[in-house]
Amino acid sequence: MKSQVQRPTGAFVGASWAALFVGSITYLVGLWNAQMQLNEKGYYFTILMYGLFAAVSLQKSVRDKLEGIPVSGMYFGLCWVSFGMAILLLAVGLWNATLALSEKGFYAMSFVLSLFSAITVQKNVRDVGLSNDTSPHANQEMIPSPAHKEE
């Protein structure tokens, strides 16, 4: 039997969204104002987007496995690899960048804040959705079968 999902408080949901916006917007404003070539800015922007997607995908996969929803081993592994690669790519980029240490720390901290808060926001969205669902299958995602027809 699955345990009932407890709805997160409004303050926690708000703080999670605020952290996501603060981390991401701070990273992007710093990137916009940076004195670097456009291809470098594109590299750091792509790493942020890749990292956010990997973090959300990993959190969803871990949660699915915990709830007994099937997740293929290959996808689960790719989520972990992608999450690690995003962090590694940022670390390699910052290590080789001709930026001041304070700028490197700025990008690293806003990146980590963004990834952490993306995971938390995804968890909150799922918990709120499950706590609002009162159907017998509330703890399972609804995946329509080919035989299922909407009325």
Task: Extract the tokens encoding 39.
Answer: 């291809």
Average pLDDT rounded to a whole number, residues 59-84:
93
* Structural domain includes residue 46: yes
| Cβ atoms within 10 Å of 136's Cβ, excluding its own | 7
* Structural domain includes residue 145: no
* Structural domain includes residue 84: yes
* Structural domain includes residue 2: no
* Structural domain includes residue 10: no
Task: Extract the tokens encoding 143.
Answer: 């995946």
Tell me which residue has tokens 């918990």: 127
Q: What percent of the chain has pLDDT over 90?
A: 68
Instruction: State how far Cα 84 lies from the chain centre.
Output: 13
| Model confidence pTM above 0.85 | no
* Structural domain includes residue 6: no
Instruction: State how far the Cα of 20 lies from the Cα of 121, in Å rounded to an integer.
Output: 8
* Structural domain includes residue 149: no
What range does the domain containing 86 cover?
Answer: 15-127
Which run of H or of E encompasses 146? none
Quote the mean pLDDT of the chain: 86
Task: Extract the tokens encoding 141.
Answer: 């995602």
- For 117-145, write each residue's pLDDT tens digit: 999 999 998 888 888 765 544 444 444 44
Task: Extract the tokens encoding 138.
Answer: 């509330």
Full DSSP string of 13-78? HHHHHHHHHHHHHHHHHHHHH--S-HHHHHHHHHHHHHHHHHHHHHHHHHHHHHTT----HHHHHH
Number of domains in the chain: 1
